[in-house]
């Protein structure tokens, strides 16, 4: 199938799905009403609870849930062929992912902005509280370590992306100051901020920045340490200082990058052609796990991701000004992420062939001959820069644009994930205190809880073997991704179970909209977790094997409790 036709059909399909299924879920299933006061209005404090225009909060939410997920997952999963990846991204995002994001956001809005863990405890029962918190903690713990590694790897391979990424921080702070302190119009502020950001992209291509080894740490480890220090600082600042303006800027960066890719896909056929070089289906690629069930945990963001429920109920629900905005922010953001995942599939399965020599099969084998052969971000950046080059943009500049795009989104997810993990630590250690309150304990104020968050992620990030030179390096993303994916999709199933119990209590069969997707994801993830465990035991990987086993036990326990609560229509206290 032609790449252009794939893109057009997918984009039109998402628009139709939002208007039909999305509005049905919002109006008929969850019965949105602006008469319900949101937590941002009720608890406004200027730090965590801030009523925000829906366009800005859409930008924050979209960039926070997107990150590198809809890039890394699809860029790995296309090894099984472009068709299974495309079907899962399109169907999954409409009937599963967007429903989970939206339902998690609404549940949090109607429970004082509490996290999905707290909400699940209230609707399912007290017996699952610690288990649910642990699954969320593991989720964020794994994701922070992966994000640090992914960003460090991009910095090392594309040094032109370093300068734009770091200069974007003061640009975002200035944008926040202009919007919130000086009353500058959103349109004017956005224009100059985005313009400044892309000027830095050109500068970055001219002055690439590289770091070498420092002591016992290789360059990847050095960048990872720097990024974790940055995450600590960024996550304790008020959301209006860096988080909101940076995410809003990155939303525009994403729109521009997606726009360039979309135009490139349309123009490329007139500049030598753009056709799929990947097989439609490849059920047994070398070194890869089985397509079933691993396709459904490899592609998380872009189809369905439990991480989204944490973002929706963590930072987003504390900024939504009116309940009607939840459909646009929650359901709409997921469909936009699905559109991004479609472009990633096209970049990896068609864009890689634009500037390559040899037959389609040779070009494909050079990148995807075996599982883990090419870093997923490299496959995407090279394929995407080839597509953008068809617009007349030099390939070097196009590669920096896409490299900055990847690290910027990873950066927003790193900021948000660290902040969310801080919330989880605070809620776990002082369960009766509302997030943001001062409870007098060093380990639950924002600095102590964030320190626990960052240090625990560092332990995981540097838990792997040393390099051949004996240097410490960060654990590869492909090593952690199967475990993260399984845990992530487990959380997605559990979040949907929470929505199902909530809807079941409101009567009728509305709960089926969340319950059927929950069952599907529950079966797929438990299946994948069992296969993961067999693999970890065979390889003697004790740390990942123990973590994976904990996830299996938690998933089975919470899943069974949820089903009991749904059947009996009562909590499992």
Given a contact cutoff of 8 angstroms between Cβ atoms, the answer to whether 450 and 436 are in contact is no
Q: 365: Cβ–Cβ under 8 A, 6 or more apart, which residues? A: none
Look at residue 103 in the predicted model and tell me its pLDDT: 97
Given a contact cutoff of 8 angstroms between Cβ atoms, the answer to whether 454 and 232 are in contact is yes
Residue bearing tokens 């937590």? 39
Look at residue 154 in the predicted model and tell me its pLDDT: 85
Q: How far apart are the first and last CA of the chain?
A: 53
Look at residue 82 in the predicted model and tell me its pLDDT: 96
Look at residue 438 in the predicted model and tell me its pLDDT: 52
> In whole angstroms, how large is the CA radius of gyration of the chain?
22
Given a contact cutoff of 8 angstroms between Cβ atoms, the answer to whether 566 and 501 are in contact is yes
Token pair for residue 306? Answer: 């439990």
Decide: helix, strand or coil at residue 286: strand
Q: Is the peptide bond before 293 cis (omega within 30 degrees of 0)?
A: yes
Q: 259: Cβ–Cβ under 8 A, 6 or more apart, which residues? A: none
Token pair for residue 312? Answer: 């929706």
Q: Report the alpha-carbon distance of residue 153 to residue 476 in Å, rounded.
A: 9
Helix H segments across 114-242? Answer: 116-124, 129-157, 162-180, 186-206, 219-236
Look at residue 182 in the predicted model and tell me its pLDDT: 81
Decide: helix, strand or coil at residue 217: strand
Q: Report the alpha-carbon distance of residue 238 to residue 259 in Å, rounded.
A: 31
| Per-position pLDDT tens, the chain of length 573 | 588 999 999 999 999 999 999 999 999 999 999 989 999 998 888 877 889 888 888 887 887 787 777 888 999 999 999 999 999 999 999 999 999 999 999 999 999 998 888 899 999 988 888 888 888 888 888 888 888 888 888 888 889 889 999 998 899 889 888 887 888 887 888 889 889 988 998 898 888 998 888 888 888 889 999 999 999 998 888 877 887 788 778 778 888 888 999 999 999 887 767 889 999 999 889 888 899 999 999 998 899 999 899 889 988 999 999 999 999 999 999 999 999 999 999 999 999 888 766 777 888 888 898 987 887 888 999 999 999 999 999 988 898 888 888 888 788 788 888 988 888 888 777 755 555 455 567 776 888 889 999 999 888 888 877 877 888 887 766 677 788 888 889 999 999 999 999 999 888 899 999 999 999 999 999 999 999 899 889 988 888 888 899 999 998 998 899 999 888 888 887
CA 517 remoteness from chain centre: 19
Given a contact cutoff of 8 angstroms between Cβ atoms, the answer to whether 501 and 124 are in contact is yes
Q: 116: Cβ–Cβ under 8 A, 6 or more apart, which residues? A: 104, 107, 108, 132, 136, 309, 310, 312, 313, 314, 495, 498
Decide: helix, strand or coil at residue 272: coil
566-572 own/partner pairs: CB under 8 Å, 24+ apart = 566/497, 566/500, 566/501, 566/504, 566/511, 566/515, 569/504, 569/505, 571/123, 571/124, 571/125, 571/126, 572/124, 572/125, 572/126, 572/127, 572/128
**Which CATH architecture fits 3-568?**
Up-down Bundle (1.20)
Q: Could you give phi then psi for residue 186, rounded to 5 degrees?
A: -60, -45
Q: 281: Cβ–Cβ under 8 A, 6 or more apart, which residues? A: 80, 81, 83, 84
Given a contact cutoff of 8 angstroms between Cβ atoms, the answer to whether 440 and 463 are in contact is no
Beta-carbon count within 10 A of 441 CB:
13
DSSP characters over 171-190: HHHHHHHHHHTS---HHHHH
Domain ranges of the chain: 3-568
- For residues 565, 65, 458, 471, the Cα torsion angle rounded to the nearest 10 degrees is 130
The secondary structure of residue 328, as a DSSP letter, is: I
């Amino acid at each position: 199938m032609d790449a252009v036709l794939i893109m057009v059909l997918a984009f039109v399909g998402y628009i139709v799905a939002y208007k039909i299924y999305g509005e049905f879920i919002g109006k008929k299933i969850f019965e949105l009403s602006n008469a319900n006061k949101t937590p941002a209005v009720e608890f406004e404090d200027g730090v965590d609870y801030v009523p925000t225009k829906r366009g800005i909060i859409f930008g924050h939410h979209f960039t926070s849930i997107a990150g590198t997920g809809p890039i890394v997952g699809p860029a790995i999963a296309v090894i099984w062929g472009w068709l299974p990846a495309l079907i899962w991204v399109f169907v999954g995002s409409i009937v599963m992912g967007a429903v989970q994001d939206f339902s998690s956001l609404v549940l949090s809005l109607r429970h004082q902005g509490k996290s999905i863990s707290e909400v699940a405890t209230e609707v399912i029962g007290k017996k699952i509280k610690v288990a649910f918190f642990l699954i969320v903690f593991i989720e964020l713990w794994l994701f922070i370590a992966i994000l640090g590694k992914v960003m460090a790897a991009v910095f090392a391979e594309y040094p032109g992306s370093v300068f734009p990424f770091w200069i974007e921080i003061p640009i975002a702070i200035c944008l926040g100051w202009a919007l919130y302190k000086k009353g500058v119009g959103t349109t004017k502020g956005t224009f100059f901020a985005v313009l400044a950001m892309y000027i830095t992209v050109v500068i970055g291509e001219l002055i690439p920045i590289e770091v070498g080894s420092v002591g016992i740490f290789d360059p990847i480890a050095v960048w990872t340490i720097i990024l974790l220090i940055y995450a600590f600082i960024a996550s304790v600042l008020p959301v209006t200082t860096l988080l909101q303006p940076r995410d809003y800027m990155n939303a525009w960066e994403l729109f521009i990058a997606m726009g360039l890719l979309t135009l490139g896909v349309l123009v490329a056929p007139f500049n030598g052609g753009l056709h799929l070089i990947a097989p439609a289906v490849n059920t047994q690629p070398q070194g890869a796990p089985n397509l079933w069930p691993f396709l459904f945990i490899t592609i998380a963001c872009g189809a369905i991701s439990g991480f989204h429920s944490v973002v929706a109920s963590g930072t987003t629900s504390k900024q939504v000004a009116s309940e009607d905005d939840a459909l646009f922010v929650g359901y709409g953001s997921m469909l936009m992420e699905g559109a991004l995942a479609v472009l990633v599939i096209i970049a990896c399965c068609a864009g890689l062939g634009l500037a390559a020599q040899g037959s389609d099969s040779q070009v494909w084998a050079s990148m995807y001959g075996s599982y883990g052969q090419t870093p997923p971000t490299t496959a995407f950046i090279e394929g995407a820069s080839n597509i953008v080059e068809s617009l007349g943009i030099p390939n070097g500049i196009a590669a920096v644009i896409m490299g900055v795009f990847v690290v910027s989104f990873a950066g927003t997810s790193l900021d948000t994930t660290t902040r969310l993990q801080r919330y989880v630590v605070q809620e776990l250690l002082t369960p009766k205190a509302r997030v943001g309150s001062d409870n007098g304990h060093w380990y639950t104020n924002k600095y102590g809880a964030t320190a626990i968050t960052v240090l625990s992620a560092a332990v995981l990030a540097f838990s792997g073997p040393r390099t051949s030179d004996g240097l410490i390096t960060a654990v590869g993303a492909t090593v952690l991704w199967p475990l993260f994916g399984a845990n992530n999709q487990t959380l997605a199933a559990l979040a949907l179970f929470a929505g199902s119990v909530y809807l079941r209590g409101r009567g009728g069969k509305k709960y089926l909209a969340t319950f059927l997707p929950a069952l599907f994801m529950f079966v797929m993830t438990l299946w994948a977790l069992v296969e993961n465990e067999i693999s970890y035991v065979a390889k003697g990987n004790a740390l990942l094997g123990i973590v994976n086993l904990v996830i299996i036990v938690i998933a089975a326990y919470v899943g069974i409790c949820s089903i009991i609560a749904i059947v009996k229509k009562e909590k499992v206290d």
